Amino acid sequence: MGLEVVIAQDFEDMSEEAANIIIPKIREATIYEQVEFNVGLATGSSPIGLYKRIIERQKEFDATRVASWNLDEYIGLPGETLTERIIHPQSYAFFMIQNLFGRLSPPFAKTHIPRGAEIDQRKLVDALKEGIDRGYVHLEGNDKGKAVVVLPSCNDKYLRWIRDELLDSYLHSIRDAGGIDYWIVGVGENGHIGFHESGIPLHHQILLVKLDDNTIYNAVKDGHFPNREDAPQYAISMGAGGIFGHSRNILLLASGGRKAECISKSLLGQATSEVPISGLYTYAQNGGNVTYVLDEDAAKGILGRDALLNKKGIAIKDLRLKYA
Ligand code: GLP
């Protein structure tokens, strides 16, 4: 199994280490082997330093051989039209253009972002209400965040379009491309991966998701939205099962004390849907390759636990030693 935890000093050091892992892999595939490289991408503050370095070092690889897939996208950003919602400053499409895609020349061959902006949240809420009443929509999850499952018996055209054209086809595009070589992921305070919220069964491959209160709380706290009422309530997201099932390598980035508890639970505890990233351990046991790159604050729940981690087959690389 391959699960390594790299402990960096701070955010910059974490970003540098992540860049030194991923850029040579992209270079190897696109320059030396001259094959396509499929990368999975995340939004949020965690990967920003890594993206900055990918931009600075873009001459080291051939972007025209790279295709990317993002983890998730909001539904329900303010805006009457699709264009208004896509160019909303908090849309993940906008984030990616600003922090990576718009600053690569030449650009990636292909970029994919879940089509959450195409959904009209009011129409969705009405259709879901009726679907739940009539029994062709199920909500799954033990916490406030829920997977919205549109059952085969659903005869609502709008919900079927979301399920077939927006969810299933996204997953198929990854499968048809041969899977993801490296997926860069972040993690939420509650241990979510993408928007696969705490309490949602880990087998889900792709999700229409009702966001958890904690996710909305943090989005407001981090200044992305002025208040809860203006924050999106839904999203489209890769599910843990889809990420694990379609990627050969996963690089998890986490910085800050807010992440410490879910990080330690995922490494020291059992796999549980309460902490979706805990599925990474099982993923690694099944042959996947996982690297956590953490700053000191995010790592604080595992510091000094090397013996226990090693016993579980988890390797530790402590970069802070170079500053000691
Ligand atoms: C959001 C995104 C996740 C991301 C998480 C953490 O919830 N959907 O993909 O990992 O935020 O964000 P940050 O890196 O800003 O802490």
The ligand 1 atom nearest the CA atom of 186? 10
What residue ranges line ligand 1, CB within 6 angstroms?
42-46, 71-72, 186-188, 194-195, 215
Ligand 1 centroid distance, CA of 210 (Å): 15
DSSP 8-state code for residue 247: B
CATH dotted code for 2-323: 3.40.50.1360
The ligand 1 atom nearest the CA atom of 195? 8
User: pLDDT tens digit string along 86-115?
Assistant: 999 999 999 999 999 999 999 999 999 999
Q: Phi/psi at 129 (nearest 5 deg)?
A: -60, -50
Q: What's the whole-number average pLDDT of the chain?
A: 96
Residue 197 annotated in active site: yes
User: pLDDT tens digit string along 43-78?
Assistant: 999 999 999 999 999 999 999 999 999 999 999 999
Q: Is the pLDDT of residue 159 over 90?
A: yes
Q: What is the pTM of this model?
A: 0.96
Among 71-75, 128-132, 297-301, 319-323, which is the least confidently predicted range?
Answer: 319-323
CB-CB contact of 7 with 296 (8 Å) = yes
Cis? peptide before 226, omega within 30° of 0 = no
Query: Rounded to whole angstroms, how far apart are CA atoms 166 and 168?
Result: 6
Q: Is the pLDDT of residue 323 over 70?
A: no
Query: Rounded to whole angstroms, how far apart are CA atoms 195 and 232?
Result: 12
Q: Is the pLDDT of residue 28 over 90?
A: yes
Q: Indicate the pLDDT class of residue 322, thresholds 50, 70 and 90.
A: confident
Q: Which of 323, 259, 268 is nearest to 46 (CA)?
A: 259
- Is the torsion defined by CA of 261, 95, 185, 148 positive or negative? positive
DSSP 8-state code for residue 20: H
Query: Ligand 1, residues 11, 41, 46: which to mutate, most atoms within 8 A of Cβ?
Result: 46
Give the start-to-end residue ranges of the domains of the chain. Answer: 2-323
Ligand 1 centroid distance, CA of 263 (Å): 14
